[in-house]
Amino acid sequence: MLHQIINQKPKDPEIKLILYIKFPIIEIEKALKKLEKFYITMKKLTYIIILLSTMALSCGDNSTKTDVAYTDPGFDSKENVKDTKQANFANMPTQNSSGASCNAIIFQKNIDGKDYVAIGYKKNSFYLKIYWEDSSIPSSVDTPNFNININGSTSTSDSLKLTAQPQSDGTYLITFTGDISVGAYTIASGDTIRAAKY
C-alpha cells in the first residue's frame, strides 16, 4: 500500500517495482505523481519550520564569541545583537519581552522555487511562527493565505493583516492591524513585534 512506502523518495526503483506489483499500470503514474508532490510539500514545510525554530531559539544567545552566524543571524559580531528588539501582546502580557535577549526575527527566502516571508518569536516555552508566500518583506500585508503556529495551535479563520516597517538599526517594526485568533491565543490589532532581519 502507498502508506507503506510514503517515507521513501517516489523515483526510487524499489518503489516503482512495488507499485507495479500492487497497482494496475494505469494507476502507476498517478500514484508516483501524488507521492512526489507529497514529498516536495513536506520537504518545504519541514525546512521552513526548522528555520523558524532554529533562528528564533538562536538570535538571543549571547553565550560565546564563536559561531557568530548561528547565534546572531545576519550580524557581524556578538556586539551587534539588537537591543531594540521587542514583542508586545495586549492579550498575552506574560509573553512580552524586549532587549537583546528578545528572540524575534523576520526573514525572506526562496525555498524550492517559491518565495516566503516568515516571522518567528520565542519566549521560554512560548513560540509564534507565521509565514506566507512573498518575494520580499512587504510594507503591508492583508491576506487569508498564510500559515500560523502558536504553541502548536494552527487553525484560524482570520486573515493576516500587518505592516512591516524597516528601522534605522536594521530591525523591522511589525504592527498587526487585525485580530488573529488561534486556539486559545489571540494576537490583537495594535500588537507589535520589533524583529531582527535575518
pLDDT, residue 43, reads 62
pLDDT, residue 166, reads 95
pLDDT, residue 66, reads 34
Q: φ, ψ for residue 171 (rounded to 5)?
A: -90, 170
Per-residue pLDDT of the chain (198 residues; tens, 9 = 90+): 444 444 444 455 554 444 444 444 445 556 656 666 666 666 666 666 666 655 554 444 443 333 333 333 444 444 457 889 999 999 999 999 998 888 888 988 888 888 999 998 988 889 899 999 999 999 999 999 999 999 999 999 999 999 999 999 889 999 999 999 999 999 999 999 999 887
Spans of all domains in the chain? 46-197
Q: Which residues 6+ apart lie within 8 Å of 190 measured at CB?
A: 90, 175, 176
pLDDT, residue 107, reads 87
**pLDDT, tens only, 112-160:** 888 999 998 988 889 899 999 999 999 999 999 999 999 999 999 999 9
**9-36 burial code (b ≥16 CB/10 A, e <16):** ebeeeebeebbeeeeeeeeeeebeeebe
pLDDT, residue 185, reads 96
pLDDT, residue 2, reads 43
**pTM for the whole thing?**
0.64
pLDDT, residue 112, reads 81
